[in-house]
Amino acid sequence: MKKAVILFNLGGPDKLENVKPFLFNLFNDPAILNLPTFFRYPLAKLISNRRAPTAKKIYQELGGSSPILKLTKEQSKALELKLNNDDQNSEYKCFIVMRCWHPRAEEIVNYVRDFNPDEIILMPLYPQYSAATSGSSIKEWKDICKKNNIKIKTSTICCYPADENFVLAHKEEIIKKINNLKNFKLIFSAHGLPEKNIKKGDPYQWQVEQSVDKIVKSINIENLDWILSYQSRVGPLKWIGPSTEDIIVENSKLGKHIVLVPIAFVSEHSETLVELDIEYKELADKNGCKNYTRVPALGTNENYIKAMSDLIIKKQDYNFNGELFPPKTQCPNQFVKCPCLNYE
């Protein structure tokens, strides 16, 4: 049995001249700017034009491009190998689909058609579900399949915020960094969202909290000093908090050793390599921090790859309706954007 695994991620510009079109694709997504097309398109143009100069400086720090595609290819290769080793009754092939830059869904759908699978399995590289990330990618893929008259059985693994192997992967990476440390503050940092998104029923914040709760319990250190905070805030809207910047400033002034954990990013990219490693370290240094440590994104951590492999191979253990395979602990009913409560 042939199975195509679609790995969703955001993507990033492959050269500086593509920063502006990448930003346009990001802000032209209805899941990001929920406006009619005739309003959204010019607004996305305006925002991308204004933000491109600052964003270019960020990508210059990374050598002129985002590393996310290269790193996602490494994850894809590791997962494909693991799947085919662990389930020899099926042939698996992984395909990468980026939401805002290449390879895009409209490109990859033809390669999937050529592979001619018996089943397509959608696997977001976003452990916690948000309508703006996983939801947007899943919808785009399904729309393009419909447009191209592709009627292959499709299964969706929407999220895995408290999966035991995902939790174990984070525990391993954290322990490597905090072993023998004293007087440290463990800061779990996730990408933020406008507060209004959560009030409209997006389960992202609740799921991030589930991830952190499970990881802290698995670390099992008495009186562990930790906090969850949110980064990458932009624009005038009120965002969920507390902000990672505020937490860094507060604990730097207290003389704490700062240990930052990217909890919602599984690949290194601008928000980890520039925002966390450069900008936030400068902020910590300026406020008296003597020691600053950043835990790496999971990347190809063996337990993270195992988490995804097991979720795919054993997905019937999580069967919701024959097409959706969510965690056994599902979102509370107020999170109406959760795909279990809002399945299309």
Which residue range is the domain that position 279 belongs to?
A: 165-294
Residue 211 lies in a domain: yes
Given this model, what pLDDT does residue 151 score? 95
Given this model, what pLDDT does residue 236 score? 81
Using alpha carbons, list the distances in angstroms from residue 75 to 9, 71, 151, 189, 281.
11, 6, 27, 22, 27
> 214-244 as b/e, with b when 16 or more CB fall inside 10 Å?
bbbeebeeeeeebebbbbbbeeeeebbeebb
Task: Report the domain count for the chain.
Answer: 1
- Chain centroid to Cα 174, Å, comes to 18
Residue 76 lies in a domain: no
CATH number for 266? 3.40.50.1400
| SS3 state at 155 | strand
Q: Alpha-carbon distance 341 to 330, whole Å?
A: 10
Q: Which two tokens stand for residue 306?
A: 């195992």
Residue 174 lies in a domain: yes
Given this model, what pLDDT does residue 56 score? 96
Given this model, what pLDDT does residue 330 score? 86
Strand partners of residue 184: 257
Q: pLDDT in tens for each of the 344 residues of the chain?
A: 999 999 999 999 999 999 999 999 999 999 988 889 989 999 999 999 999 999 999 999 999 999 999 999 999 999 999 999 999 999 999 999 999 999 999 999 999 999 999 999 999 999 999 999 999 999 999 999 999 999 999 999 999 999 999 999 999 999 999 998 999 999 999 999 999 999 999 999 999 999 999 999 999 999 999 999 999 988 788 999 999 999 999 999 999 999 999 999 999 999 999 999 999 999 999 999 999 999 999 999 999 999 999 999 999 999 999 999 999 888 999 999 999 887 55
Residue 112 lies in a domain: no
Residue 35 lies in a domain: no
Given this model, what pLDDT does residue 139 score? 96
Residue 306 lies in a domain: no
Q: Alpha-carbon distance 333 to 28, whole Å?
A: 29
Given this model, what pLDDT does residue 341 score? 83
pTM > 0.75: yes or no: yes
Q: Are 102 and 313 in contact (CB under 8 A)?
A: no
Question: What's the CA dihedral at 31, 35, 39, 43 to 10 degrees?
Answer: -40
- How many CA atoms lie within 13 Å of 286's alpha carbon, on the beta-carbon side? 10
Residue 63 lies in a domain: no
Given this model, what pLDDT does residue 343 score? 56
